[in-house]
Structure 1
């Protein structure tokens, strides 16, 4: 497995223009990497590559927030979000994180086609009643990025609220985002019931894939709706083999590449091709 890092950085004047047009508290390091502040936390991005089996290359990255203190991890994401006790604070924090991810990804990568995968906090989905994705769309417009290059990852817990799941998919899709939803096994017919609202990508845990007794019908259903299957959290060679044998389209996990403060690219899988 080989990785490479792109080093196209935000031009100072461009960053200043973006900063002046938003209310976000942002900083730019000498190497071009962007961070933001929430309370006493300095927030920045790490990215984990997502590999396409068919294309045999990295097609996007999942973004995760990290809180730093003197270059070391200070708080884990759940600890940072626990500081936002009020819904308004949570909404501001969630939007700040996505803005930081977008700046770091699109201004530190040479690729013009790869997709940024970002999650949204379930409390934000409940707090914002309509127009999900509008604020992020406005920010993407500001930096010249189309919403079609962003994959919104809907938290698995939203599967428990069928009406909310349908509502947020409708909202995000109307703004051009790609949608990734999680298969949790709670409703075997959920893809069928979603109908025209099916997600673009269905994510499943590698450990769940190993235990699932009906993998083939599940994958067939996902593909029949024109969606792709992403197997995530691949930690072992056995899980990687199972993911490839399942008919998965995309792969993600620490076995392939750990989240890093860089835009890494997976070029080879850590097992021979069949």
Structure 2
């Protein structure tokens, strides 16, 4: 990593000078404090569906664990935290993930996907993304490689999603959305004009609709990511359905388990029944 501004900030974190709620541990990982929880980051690769090359990583917040398999913090706090506390947690995690990603070698030219919690859509007043953009500018980090991933919504939240997406876009961020099915993915493609659409592989079981979505997304310069791919048979069915199309991406336990290190995701990991049973809640 060759970034003087980030290096200087990491030095301050190591000396506990930057923030009492953010510090570097003995392994060099940034950790954050939220109430009585100690948080860190795990990253899962997003790969080309054609040759499995790593194109990006998605970040997840985890309660700290030496073996990288801490609990999903959002699941623990989703029903306990109020809106203000959820916004605070979302912003802390965003900064934590950014630091843990860009401090690692090989991150400079890869995309980083950061999830936006559903509570943040309505809880934030004013300009979404402005504060985060200012932090990135101070740390001299490339906002153009960060994809802010908006949550799956109900029909009543359509206008909120559109408003938030436009705010993030005005602040220079790329936008990702989550679709519940292929039909919703096509609607989001037209209405939100995202840079990426994610859809569970189990909800994408219509080969003709898949190809139509991929063709439309390609013309709109939007990446389609099929997620939660847990076994080789599902991956093969996806390849067979799109044997004439290579412009889609994949993510799941078949390829990678979430890890603190980006290097760990460079190899393709076999999915096992034990791994999947143990880590089903990580996505």
Please give the TM-score of this superposition, normalised by the length of structure 2. Answer: 0.80
Structure 2 gaps of 5+ residues are 271-283
**Cα distance in 2, alignment partners of residues 219 and 29 from structure 1:** 43
Q: Deviations over 1:144-172 (max 9, x none)?
A: 11211101111012665211121111111
Give the number of aligned pairs. Answer: 261
Name the counterpart of 1:253: 252
Cα RMSD of the aligned pairs, angstroms, is 3.1
Shift of 1:97: 0.6
Shift of 1:45: 0.5
Name the counterpart of 2:277: none
Q: 1:259 to 1:192 in 2, by over 3 A?
A: closer
SS of corresponding position for 1:210: coil
| Contact 2:42–2:68, Cα closer than 8 Å, also in 1 | no
| Contact 1:84–1:90, Cα closer than 8 Å, also in 2 | no
Shift of 1:212: 6.4
Structure 1 gaps of 5+ residues are 1-5
| Contact 1:182–1:204, Cα closer than 8 Å, also in 2 | yes
Q: Which of 204, 210, 235 is equivalent to 1:215?
A: 210
Shift of 1:111: 3.1
Name the counterpart of 2:146: 150
Name the counterpart of 2:103: 107
Correspondence 1:266 to 2:266: yes
Q: 1:222 to 1:69 in 2, by over 3 A?
A: closer
User: Using CA pairs below 8 Å that are at least 6 residues apart, which structure has the higher relative contact order?
Assistant: 1
Shift of 1:81: 2.6
Please give the TM-score of this superposition, normalised by the length of structure 1. Answer: 0.83
Q: 1:54 to 1:240 in 2, by over 3 A?
A: closer
Q: Decide which moves more: 80-89 or 139-148.
A: 80-89
Shift of 1:257: 0.6
**Cα distance in 2, alignment partners of residues 187 and 59 from structure 1:** 25
Name the counterpart of 2:273: none
Structure 2 counterparts to residues 32-111 of structure 1, below 5 A: 32-53=28-49, 57-68=53-64, 75-82=71-78, 85-111=81-107
Q: Which of 179, 196, 203 is equivalent to 1:201?
A: 196
